[in-house]
Amino acid sequence: MGNLGSVSYALKRMGKASSIIHGPKAVEEYDGLIIPGVGSFGPAMERLETFRDGIIGFAQSGKPMLGICLGMQVLFEQGTERGTHEGLSLIGGKVEMLKGTPKLPHVGWNTIELEGKSRLMERIPNRSYAYFAHSYACEPDFKGSIIATTGYGNTFVSAVEQGNVLGVQFHPEKSGAIGELILKNFMELAKECK
């Protein structure tokens, strides 16, 4: 799925300890869980299959977990990239190809429109720029979980927060000071679980 190194490096740059889990290691020993990703929904779920029970158990523990880009998409029930694939079903809804866009993939800097209050987005100014690289977007069943949207042709969901399960469609590790603040907010949530 890629992107593990860049997220790990971003956390290290911030002085935060992290570990990359390569096998079906017990995830419950961690204070927070980040699922980064670049690639395609189906192959990502194949790679995550050995982690599925651990990830679901972690989400049920109440500790914070953050999906980034493809990592956010796999939190949903279903993805439709190159066929229909079952996701982790931690958030109700599906992942569909972006519609009405100038071109695909959507790559580059774009603004995020904040929707309501969110612990993940604390101190983030509305219409901040973040870095995107994707062709698919999440469509949550529960609209109250949407914490940010972005316009690219049509408007799509760019961040969700459903209890302790969080997701951003953009890459905070590549989004400068704003992305670093989002990661810091996530780490503060994880610290509260110690």
Q: Please give the pLDDT value at position 141.
A: 97
Give me the catalytic one of 81, 115, 161, 173: 173
Residue among 69, 81, 85, 138 flagged as catalytic: 69
CATH number, domain of 22, equals: 3.40.50.880
Q: Which secondary structure element, helix H or strand E, spans residue 128, and what is its range?
A: strand 128-134
Q: Which residues contact 193 (CB under 8 A, 6 or more apart)?
A: 31, 32, 62, 63, 64
pLDDT at position 2 is 65
Going residue by residue through the chain (194 aa), what tens digit of pLDDT does each one get? 667 778 887 888 888 778 888 766 677 788 999 999 888 999 999 988 888 998 999 999 999 999 999 999 999 999 999 999 999 999 999 999 999 999 999 999 999 999 989 999 999 999 999 999 999 999 999 999 999 999 999 999 999 999 999 999 999 999 999 999 999 999 999 988 76
If one counts the domains in the chain, the total is 1
* pTM, rounded to two decimals: 0.94
* Euclidean distance between the first and the last CA atom of the chain, given in angstroms as a whole number: 29
171 is catalytic: yes
Q: Residue 60 has what pLDDT?
A: 94
Tokens of 64: 């914070």
Domain encompassing residue 161: 4-192
pLDDT of residue 166: 98
Catalytic residue among 29, 138, 171, 180: 171
Would you call 22 a catalytic residue per the annotation?
A: no
194 to 11, 30, 31, 53: CA distances (angstroms): 18, 9, 6, 22
